[in-house]
Structure 1
């Protein structure tokens, strides 16, 4: 009787786990719209230009190039940023004029003291296969030239947005122990050397760093919604004031099964597009979400 009871219990647990995994897979892959060219297996940033064409960049190790994509995920055009290097390109954003910003600010070991952002003209105005960039440099004053203690390793960066005349940077937390906090810094949006100004912070989760560290960010075209991406979720911020993004309402959208999700943007004010990197045949896709149809879990309401 005891053995039968144990067998039934184990069978029940197996079924629950199987249902959970199948549900998580469906949650993600039901949103899949595009599979990318194999050359783009490490997409780290995406943006739509003013003609609604999708552009992408690869992570570090690739040439300093932008790729314009066809609707089927194949490459339609490549543009080389001739005065740039791709040490660790980690995100892409644009301002209201359509200028693109390319973030060469990956800092896995928290040992890069000066980081770079390349600003290029609106891609619809680039008539050749090369362009030059304005070069924006910045450093974190908190690093102050000393070795970074494990508990302070919060100077990696994979996410930023443009608002007004500033760029807003969301750190990828690598603290030990992991405290789940992304710090928000701002710098100017023009060629200069900046000391990044810390203006806020937000805690995602503390369960496991690879599940809830921030890998990309985007502002809606009307600048009323901010989204942050991690491996399992989209964090949606609304009803904030000015650049105090964490001051308003916060919701969370579950993305299902864990993949290496690295880039997010808005197609329009209601449509979010995010991507994951290809790893052992899994990922390498773009997924679309309609906010008015997404299941959102409220995390925080703004104070009245």
Structure 2
């Protein structure tokens, strides 16, 4: 019965996507991965890199657009405390954001660097970047980040006003800097993933039912330019977004019974 319901749900989404020409299912993620919490794409690669969040294995997966597992890399020196997002640099290294904090009690957060040369292996040791919050900032949950000018920009997951942290891309322990706070208009504004375009000109913030596209900003004041809301045609637990080129992005969602567990493409134009 669950499989039948899932098939009906997929058919409804496909029909909606074909009608709207906005969100298109590319494939169904391998059934062994129920809680995919991120997505990342590298230049000149067809793989979609994903992770799962708290309680799952310490693995980095490379998927085909159809959702088949092509690469499965065990990170040997790091447990999956709460892996929530992925980003990468121009050299082809991938970074895992281990900064989920659902109970708001965590004090030490980590970013794991997986080197490009290890992305073809089955096992890897990650370089570890740690950060703490400033003393006047209460512990928060973080699920979204990207790399810009060799700094990580990390967004807290809030119902209303959220903060943006800045952490250097450098091995060791750092105290994060709060560079801004912002309150996006409307409801359901918890940020679950983020990415920046390859040319550094557009930032995307993801929620379960929409994207916010930020452009025309100055430096790292990402909210100083245009902010456009791009709604989807349905609402699932979307937790991964990444650019594949200047206009097309990939999204992933967690599997919940017969809903989700898919790879989607979205046209920003």
Q: Same fold (TM over 0.5)?
A: yes
Displacement of 1:205 in angstroms is: 4.1
The answer as to whether partners of 2:110 and 2:130 remain within 8 angstroms in 1 is yes
Partner of 1:165: 150
Cα distance change of structure 1 residues 206 and 126 upon mapping to structure 2, 3 Å threshold: closer
Q: Equivalent of 2:33, from 37, 40, 43?
A: 40
Displacement of 1:128 in angstroms is: 2.3
The answer as to whether partners of 1:113 and 1:143 remain within 8 angstroms in 2 is no
1:182 equivalent to 2:187? Answer no
1:1-304 → structure 2 map (5 Å cutoff): 26=16, 30-50=23-43, 51-122=45-116, 126-142=119-135, 155-173=140-158, 178=159, 180-205=160-185, 207=187, 211-292=188-269
Give distance in 2, aligned partners of 1:127 and 1:257. 36
Structure 1, unpaired ranges of 5+: 1-21, 293-304
Give distance in 2, aligned partners of 1:87 and 1:126. 21
Query: What SS does the corresponding residue of 2:38 show, helix, strand or coil?
Result: strand
* Structure 1 stretches of at least 4 aligned residues deviating more than 4 Å after TM superposition: 27-30
Give aligned pairs, total. Answer: 254
Displacement of 1:143 in angstroms is: 5.2
Specify the structure having the higher radius of gyration (Cα). Answer: 1
Give distance in 2, aligned partners of 1:183 and 1:93. 19
Q: Structure 1 length as normaliser, TM-score?
A: 0.78
Give distance in 1, aligned partners of 2:29 and 2:123. 23
Displacement of 1:257 in angstroms is: 2.0
Q: Which has the higher contact order (CA 8 A, sep 6+)?
A: 2
